[in-house]
Structure 1
Amino acid sequence: MARRKKSGMDAIASMPWPVGVVLGIAAYWCIRHGIGMYFTSFGGPVLKGVGQQASGGAFGLIAWMALALCWIAAAASALGSHRRRKLLETRSGLDSLRGISWRQFELLVGESFRRRGYSVEENGGGGKDGGIDLIVRKDGRRELVQCKQWKNSRVDVATVREMWGLKAHHDADGVHIVCIGDFTPDAARFATGKAIHLVSGTSLLEQILAVQSKPVNKPETALTQPLRESPAHACPACGSGMVRRTNRRNGQSFWGCSQYPRCKGTVAT
C-alpha cells in the first residue's frame, strides 16, 4: 500500500493531545521571543538587526499561527481519541464488528492495541484492505498490522504470504492479520511457527471485551447503620444475629446478617 506522506499537523494530531498543546506554546515562544534573543546575542550586525525586529514583534503573526495550528491539531487528536474510545466501548458481538465501515474497523483494531500497551501509528490512505494498515510498537518490537474486514469470505494463504514478505521487506519483528471472519487451513498452516499472529473475528472480539472499561457494579442494597440486632432472628445461612437494614432502591426494610459481607443472608421484615 502506498503510504501517504504526513504533514506536520498530521504528525501532531497522531500524538496525545497534551503534546500538541505544549508544542504550540513552545513554538509561539521560540518564534515570538527566542529568535530575537538568539540573533541579538550571537549574530553579526545584520542578524542583530533582524533580532531587534523580531523582538519588536515582526514575527508575532507567524508565532500566533504556529500556536493556532498546533492547538487545532491537538483538538483533532482529542476528538479522534474520544471517537476511538467510544467505538471500542460500544462493541458487544460479531454483528457489531460487521456493521462498521472498513476505516472504523482499522481504528477499532488500533484502539484495541493501544489498550494493551502498544503505541500505534496509523499508516493512512491506500484504500480498503491493502498492505500495511497499522504499525504497532511495544517493548522494543515493531510489528505490522493488516486489517481485513471481509464479511463473507475467509482470509487465504496468499494474503498471509504477502504480509510475511512485507515483514522481511520492512525488517519488522512480526505481523498481525486481523479479520472479522476466519482463515483458511492453508493460511493457518503457513503461519505456524512464524512471527505471524492470525486474529479471527472471535479472537478480536475477546480482545476487545477484555480491554473495555469495566462498569462499576453497585450493590443492590446499600446498608445503613444498624438500628438494632435481633436475637429473635437468626441468619438462615450461618445462624448469626440479624441486623435491621434498609434497601436504598425501594425504601423497604429487611433483616440482614450481622456478619455481612462474609455472609449475605437476609430475612424479610
Structure 2
Amino acid sequence: MARRKKTSPLEDILDLLSLLPWWVCLVLAAVSYIVLSNLAAPIKPSDIQGQGGAMVGAMMQKAVIHGLATIGQYLAPLMCLIAAAISAWRRKQRRELIAGVSQAESSDALDGMSWREFEILVGESYRQQGYRVAELGGAGPDGGVDLVLIKGNEKFFVQCKQWKAYKVGVTTVRELYGVMAAKGATGGFVVTSGRFTADAVEFAQGRNIELVDGPRLFAMIQRARRTGTSPPQSNPADSLALAQRPEATAIAKAETAAPDCPRCGASMQLRTARQGANAGSNFWGCSTYPKCRGTRAAG
C-alpha cells in the first residue's frame, strides 16, 4: 500500500489530533486557549525574583515563555479546530463509504477507491463489529500495520492491501505475523480487495491470522447493512478452528485454484466463450481484461 509523503512536525501534530473525536478537539481548543492566554499575560516586575544573574535568567525564561504563549494561544486552538473539522469530515466519509459499498451489487465497488478510502472502509467495518480502531496508515512503528483494533484487553493488527490485479502473497502474511509476535498482539487480519495466493492461505492456517478477501469484506458490509445490526465478531481464533475443518480447507483451495495470467501475472477468472469454434466452453481469462488478453485453457 502507498505510504504518506514526508510531512512537517505541524502536519504530524494536526494528523494526530484529527484521529481524536471531533468534540475532544473542541475541548482541547478551549483548554489550550485558556492556559496559554494566562501564560501570555504581560510580565510584571513582581513576577521576577532573584538578584543579579539569577534575575536576568528568570527574566529571560519568562520572556521565552511569554513569547511562545503569545503565539501559541492562537495557533494551538486553531490547530485543534482544524483537527475537529477533519475528524468530523472523516466520520462523514466513513459513513458514506460504508453506505456506498453496501448498496453496490458486487465487490467490484471496492476497485475504484483509493488506498486511503479502502483503509477507512476496512476500519469502519471493524468499528461496526465493536472494535476500537486506531488508524496508523502504515506509518507507525509497527512495521507496516495500517490499523490497530482493540476489544477489551485484546489487541489485533490489520494490514490493508488495495490490490485487485495481483494476489496478496505469503510475504505480506509473514510480515504481519512477525509484527504480531514482536508486539504481543492477540491476532491479526490481512484485508485485500483482491485475492490471496495458495501459499498465503496455507501459511495462515494454524496461526492466529485471518485472511479477508474482497468478496468476503463486501459480504460482511452487506450483511451489516441488510440486518441493521453489527455482523458477528470475526475473531482469528474462531477462524483458526474453522480452517481446521476438512470442508473449510477444500473451500480455501477452491478459492485459490485460479491460475496466474501467463502475460502479466494477475489472477485469472473462469469465463465462457460466447462465439467462435469454442463457443460454450470454459476458459481462464485475465482479470484485468481488456488491458491484458492473456488466457489459459480450463482443465
TM-score range relative to shorter protein: 0.5 to 0.7
Aligned to 1:76: 86
Could you say what secondary structure the match of 1:132 adopts?
coil
Unaligned runs of 5+ in 2: 229-299
Q: Residue 34 of structure 1: CA displacement? A: 6.3
What are the within-5 Å matches in structure 2 for residues 13-52 of structure 1? 13-33=18-38, 44=49
> Superposition pairs for residues 53-68 of structure 1, below 5 Å?
59-68=69-78
Residue 147 of structure 1 aligns to a residue whose secondary structure is strand
TM-score normalised by L of structure 1: 0.65
Q: Aligned to 1:86, what secondary structure does the other structure show? A: helix
CA shift at 1:204, angstroms?
Answer: 0.6
- Structure with the largest fraction of helix: 2
Greater shift in the superposed pair: 90-99 or 159-168: 159-168
* Structure 1: distance between partners of 2:211 and 2:99: 23
Report what 1:114 is aligned to.
Answer: 127
Q: Within 5 Å, give how 1:71-150 maps onto structure 2.
A: 71-91=81-101, 92=104, 93-124=106-137, 131-150=144-163
Q: What is the deviation of 1:125? A: 5.8
Task: Supply the RMSD in Å over aligned alpha carbons.
Answer: 3.6
Q: What TM-score, normalized by structure 2, do the two folds share? A: 0.59
Distance in 2 separating the partners of 1:124 and 1:151: 19
Max Rg structure: 1
- Given the alignment of the two structures, is residue 192 of structure 1 paired with residue 224 of structure 2, yes or no? no
Deviation, structure 1 residue 110:
1.2
Deviations 1:39-96 (A, max 9, x none): 9999856669988xx99x9945531222111111111111111112111110022011
Match of 1:206 in 2: 219
Change over 3 Å in CA distance of 1:43–1:13 after alignment to 2: farther
Asked if 1 retains the 8 angstrom alpha-carbon contact of 2:147 and 2:159, the reply is yes
* Higher strand content, 1 or 2: 1
After superposition, the Cα gap between the structure-2 partners of 1:214 and 1:82, relative to the gap in structure 1 and judged at 3 Å, is farther
Question: Would you say the 8 A contact 1:40–1:48 is kept in 2?
Answer: no
2:14 alignment counterpart: 9
In the other structure, the counterpart of 1:219 is none
Contact 1:41 1:48 survives alignment (8 Å): no
Q: CA deviation at 1:134?
A: 1.6
Counterparts of 2:226 and 2:46, CA distance in 1? 54
CA distance in 2, matches of 1:121, 1:79: 16
Contact 2:110 2:118 in 1 (8 A): yes
Equivalent AA in structure 2 for residue 19 of structure 1: V
Residues in 2 aligned to 1:196 and 1:78: alpha-carbon distance in whole angstroms: 32
Aligned partners of 1:112 and 1:40: how far apart in 2? 59
Amino acid corresponding to residue 126 of structure 2 in structure 1: F
Number of aligned positions between the proteins:
210
Distance between the aligned counterparts of 2:84 and 2:31, measured in 1? Answer: 14
Q: Give the letter for the 1:195 counterpart.
A: N
Q: What is the CA–CA distance in structure 2 between the aligned matches of 1:27 and 1:195, rounded to whole Å?
A: 43
Conserved in 1, the CA contact under 8 Å of 2:40 and 2:70?
Answer: no
Asked whether the 8 Å contact 1:17–1:77 carries over to 2, the reply is yes
Contact 1:12 1:19 in 2 (8 A): no
Contact residue 163 and residue 193 of structure 2 kept, 8 A:
yes
Residues 105 and 41 from structure 1, CA distance in 2 versus in 1: closer, same or farther, beyond 3 angstroms? farther
Seen in structure 2, the aligned counterparts of structure 1 residues 50 and 174 have a Cα distance that, compared at 3 Å, is same
